[in-house]
Amino acid sequence: MQKEYQICTKCILDTSDSGITFDDKGVCHYCNNFAELMDKSIDGKEANNYLLEMVEKIKASTKGEYNCIVGMSGGVDSTYVAYLAKKYGLKPLAVHIDAGWNSEIAVKNIESATSKLGIDLETIVINWKEVRDLQRAYFKASVPNCDVPQDHAFVAGVYNLAAKYGIQYMISGHNNVTEFILPPSWGYDSGDLDNLIDIHNKFGEVKLKNYPKLSLFKKVIYYRYFKKLQSFRILNYVPYNKEEVKHFITENLGWKDYGGKHFESRFTKFFQSYYLPSKFGFDKRRAHLSNLIASGQMTRDDAQREMEISPYNKDELPEDTEYFIKKLGFSIDEWQEIMKSKPRKHTDFKSDYDQWWFKLLKSLKSK
């Protein structure tokens, strides 16, 4: 039975998320969870002290030319993280994972920032034949998070490179201020290797010989426990206003705006702004803007006005659609069939979370 339409009285998330709940004031559980997180989070002087402690730990871990890795996409978060790493006297190695969908602006943003900051950049190019086959498999599987093949390769590539150079710390751009709120049904954990392999086994055609893989077991047990690799979310410990940061990196690092959250990837732009709303009926802008409302960086009225704008520029859509399906090797008939096929859940496929070792780790962690 379909829920009666309701929208949060504080943010703009609504019943397009099947799992949303509201309190007696009409406030959604995402807003309440965010408020609870902020109450528990440190800020001000306490956050700055923790940041400085972490900086000293990272400096003390130095074994070679670098003491931390910064993954760079050409986006706002990763560009500012690179700046902060240099500001605090760290010796970062910038890493970019090229999965074949970079926008020209993103490439120039990375080159400009690393050049101006004096940071070494290492680019890892993923085998295009394998990435394309994986992405095709995800669309054929009819699951919502077709960004997994890119995102999994990004994380696996960074972990593998950290181990190669003996670097203990990865400075991450993930942050609570702009990325905490996202309905679970609107995405899926890109780290779930079993899920990726099962989808590819059922719908893929090319063997994944060179594609970088990272199971949750290897990530938690091998890299974190034995290799002592740690991820530090630096943006959670500094004042982080998205618009102010955009202005700063534009003025100081030659950064240029590419138009939307994660639009540094041409794949993500089309996938998030056309495929998901058209096939699954949800628009991820609702979550992105709601996060900004919750963190006080946008008013609800401004967010609602932004939602009145079509998620995709209708003048660009025909050309972008042709580019997208041609690059993935689909015929028009195949693409239309994908768009008409019944949506499926990632949980319809195998998962690392169902493995005995994950259940054991979870039980040990809860004790």
State the DSSP H helix or E strand holding residue 247, giving kind and residue range, or none if neither: helix 242-253
- Total structural domains in the chain? 1
Please identify which residue in the block is written with the tokens 């994908």: 338
CB 66 within 8 A of CB 85: no
CATH code for the domain of 146 = 3.40.50
Helix axes 128-141, 193-203, angle to 10 degrees: 80
- pLDDT given at position 260: 54
Q: Is residue 30 part of a domain?
A: no
What CA–CA distance (Å, rounded) separates 30 from 287? 9
- pLDDT given at position 99: 93
What tens-digit pLDDT sequence spans the chain (367 residues)? 567 999 999 999 999 999 999 999 999 999 999 999 999 998 899 999 999 999 999 999 988 999 999 999 999 999 999 999 999 999 999 999 999 998 889 999 999 999 999 999 999 999 999 999 999 999 999 999 999 999 999 999 999 999 999 999 999 999 999 999 999 999 999 999 999 999 999 999 999 999 999 998 899 888 988 889 999 999 999 999 999 999 999 999 999 987 655 456 789 889 999 999 999 999 999 999 999 999 999 999 999 999 999 989 889 999 999 999 999 999 999 999 999 999 999 999 999 988 877 777 777 666 5
Please identify which residue in the block is written with the tokens 């240029």: 256
- pLDDT given at position 134: 98
What CA–CA distance (Å, rounded) separates 294 from 298? 8
Q: Is residue 357 part of a domain?
A: no
Q: Is residue 23 part of a domain?
A: no
pTM here?
0.93
Q: Fill in the amino acid letter for 176.
A: N
Q: Is residue 82 part of a domain?
A: yes
What CA–CA distance (Å, rounded) separates 69 from 94? 6
- pLDDT given at position 361: 72
Contact partners, residue 216, CB within 8 Å, separation at least 6:
191, 192, 193, 352, 353, 358
Q: Is residue 354 part of a domain?
A: no
What CA–CA distance (Å, rounded) separates 5 from 14? 7
Among left, alpha and beta (phi > 0; psi -120 to 50; other), residue 276 is alpha
What CA–CA distance (Å, rounded) separates 363 from 144? 29
What CA–CA distance (Å, rounded) separates 45 from 66? 28
- pLDDT given at position 266: 84
Q: Which among 214, 103, 215, 72 is positioned nearest to 157, based on CA atoms?
A: 214
Q: Is residue 367 part of a domain?
A: no
- pLDDT given at position 362: 72
Q: Which residues pair with 14 in a beta bridge?
A: 7
Contact partners, residue 247, CB within 8 Å, separation at least 6:
none
Q: Where are the beta strands (DSSP E) in 16-91?
A: 68-71
CB 101 within 8 A of CB 266: yes
Q: Is residue 219 part of a domain?
A: yes
Q: Fill in the amino acid letter for 152.
A: H
Q: Work out the end-to-end distance of the chain between its first and last CA atoms, rounded to an integer number of angstroms.
A: 39
Domain that holds residue 62: 43-348
Q: Fill in the amino acid letter for 257.
A: D
Q: Is the dihedral of CA 3, 181, 77, 295 positive or negative?
A: positive
What CA–CA distance (Å, rounded) separates 335 from 342? 13
* Structure tokens given for 188: 């899926």
What CA–CA distance (Å, rounded) separates 75 from 97? 13
Q: Find the length of the chain.
A: 367
What CA–CA distance (Å, rounded) separates 86 from 337? 49
Q: Is residue 91 part of a domain?
A: yes
Q: Fill in the amino acid letter for 307.
A: M
Q: Which residues pair with 120 in a beta bridge?
A: 93
**Backbone phi and psi for residue 106, each to the nearest 5 degrees, phi listed first:** -60, -45
